Amino acid sequence: MSFPTDTIAALGTPAGTSAIAVVRASGPQVRAMVAAIFGVTPPPRHAQHADYRDAKGTLVDDVLFTFFAAPNSFTGEDTVEISCHGNPFIAQKILEDLFARGCRPAEAGEFSKRAFLNGRLDLSQAEAVMDLIHARSERALAAANQQLRGALGRQMELLISQLVNVLAIIEAYIDFPDEDLPAENRQAVLLQLEQLQTATARLLATSHYGAMLRDGIKTVILGEPNAGKSSLLNRLVGRERALVSAEPGTTRDYLEERILVGPHALRLIDTAGLNPAPSSLEKRGMDKTLEQAAEADLFLWVLDATRPLPALPASTAGRLSPANTIVVVNKSDLPAAPGLAVPTGYPCVPVSALTGIGLEELRTLVSGLADSFQVKTGDDLIAINARHAHALNQARQCLETATAKLCERGSTELVASDLRGALDAFGQISGKVDNEQVLDRLFSTFCIGK
């Protein structure tokens, strides 16, 4: 793994006019550049007011700059952050001057990459930086903050440590067959492998919740035509997003909006009504409704309080359960139909999309149901991403194969190979696996060659 030796610079704030802009530079030339530009290198982490003059001595702006000395900076290198007025022209002039003094433009994500290479962050923490920037809800922000502070990294360290112990035991019988080692205990090893598989599966179970945090909880509003689905969408969004008419079947395609409900972000999807006798165009809209329902995380099943309970298509009805569905009885400001029988066991709330009655109760129910989607992994809020899930799946497969071979009293060498595959997969998440750990643990545990 090669370590950078040059100095990079880039704008640290979004392009455009603003109150301030921040220009960052990181690398071995930073200390000398700070001294050349400002005539002084201040104590680390102390902001200082100064004029920024370019290499020709021309005044560019009145700035604040902060110097961070290696290794106690974000990147682990000497770093400077220059806060200038938020005129894009000023920020560009400062960047051009830094490039003229020997910096090069930073590549996308390069500051975080250097932080990883210099041991300031593991890979999961580096990814959490981006999650933190793009968090769309309180829950997503909390998960990103915990991952940035090493929650997932700590879990991986525990798994790696336990797997290294198992691998050390297995490899001891391969590399040092003549040493005075404890008798082989396959059952103890199998128990440890079972614990590893359980912990891996627990982390994998957070994958879908992670997708919900990053993309929003896919919430489908469904029901029969003219039940008030589009009116409910407009009420929840807070504006007239969907056209509403007394004529049934006016929604022919689905509409999507993002909203916040409590600490959760929702992808709220209004769908075409489920009509038992649709026209050809309605049928196409219903097909799209069924497609959205097949992938939904949460359902708002809207019933018309003035009509009997309608039947749902079997494929959609099979997806609904009290764990993912709230029954919304709309038009509750009107006399209820004699034949309306609300499904038992489901969370249910009477509302009026016309007047707003019951909307706060609905939001409370949605927030509570969304809370239940979180998969518990101890005290930390962990929600892995797709890359983590791929690596954990690889590790799980390797652990299962190793377990099967041990149960069949297969080759110890092949078992060790599978366990090394699992170790490499775990290492893909944090980027901190060193195969020398195995030998270090082996010698310290068994005192071989003492």
Binding site, annotated residues for Mg(2+): 230, 251
First to last CA, the chain: 33
* SS3 call for 151: helix
In the DSSP assignment, the letter for residue 107 is: P
Which amino acid would we find at residue 151?
A
Annotation: binding site for (6S)-5-formyl-5,6,7,8-tetrahydrofolate:
24, 81, 120, 450
Length of the chain in terms of residues written:
450
Residues 6+ apart with CB under 8 A from 32: none
List CB contacts of 4: < 8 A, sequence separation 6 or more.
27, 114, 117
Binding annotation for GTP: 226-231, 245-251, 270-273
| Binding-site residue positions | 24, 81, 120, 226-231, 245-251, 270-273, 450
Encoded tokens for 170 = 């297995």
The strands making up 79-86's β-sheet, listed across from edge to edge, are 48-53, 59-68, 79-86, 18-26, 8-11, 104-105
**Chain mean position to CA 26:** 27
For residues 110, 115, 118, 122, the Cα torsion angle rounded to the nearest 10 degrees is: -120
8 Å CB contact between 385 and 130: no
What is the spatial order of strands in the sheet that 255-261 belongs to? 255-261, 264-270, 217-223, 298-304, 325-330, 348-350
Q: Tokens at residue 393, please? A: 């799946």
Cα separation, 107 vs 103, in Å, equals: 12
Beta carbons of 369 and 326 less than 8 angstroms apart: yes
For 136, residues 6+ apart whose C-beta sits below 8 A from its C-beta are: 216, 258, 260, 265
Instruction: Report the run of H or E that residue 349 belongs to, with start and end.
Output: strand 348-350
